[in-house]
Amino acid sequence: MTTPRIGQSVRGSTTGRPLMVALDLLGRRTALRVLWELRGDPLTFRALQDACETNTRLLNTRLTELREAGLVEHAEGGYRLTDEGRRLSKALKPLADWAEKWGDGKR
């Protein structure tokens, strides 16, 4: 599977619109988990793998995709969110808040 790109067909959409590309990328297994685990201090590959409870191959794939999308970078200390990755985290906050309220009504 290749990294989704704006303007190209993605899973569920032939338009390549930015929202559809973002949803394709974020919907991939462990992608959101990687972003979640990187919300704080940088993590080494091994620490990130342990935190995500995933295997080496899948984590490498997701990190490649997230790096190509400009959301994650590798720097001193390990992997961390880029400015764009932090903007995405802030953008997801209202969705997370909604999900908590929605989930409370389902219990």
For the domain that residue 77 is a member of, what is the CATH number? 1.10.10.10
Encode pLDDT of 25-66 as tens digits.
999 999 999 999 999 999 999 999 999 999 999 999 999 999
Q: What is the pLDDT of residue 14?
A: 86
pTM, to two decimals: 0.88
Residue ranges making up the domain that contains 97? 18-106
The number of domains in the chain is 1
With b for 16 or more beta-carbon neighbours within 10 A and e for fewer, the 68-86 pattern comes to: ebebbbeeeeebbbbeebe
The rounded distance, in Å, linking the Cα atoms of 19 and 24 is 9
Q: What is the pLDDT of residues 74-101, one digit of tens each?
A: 999 999 999 999 999 999 999 999 999 9
In a domain, 13, yes or no: no
Q: Is 77 part of a structural domain of the chain?
A: yes
Which of 62, 55, 101, 103 is CA-nearest to residue 85?
Answer: 62
Residue 12 lies in a domain: no
β-bridge mates for residue 43, sequence order: 79
- Determine contact, residues 4/25, Cβ cutoff 8 Å: yes
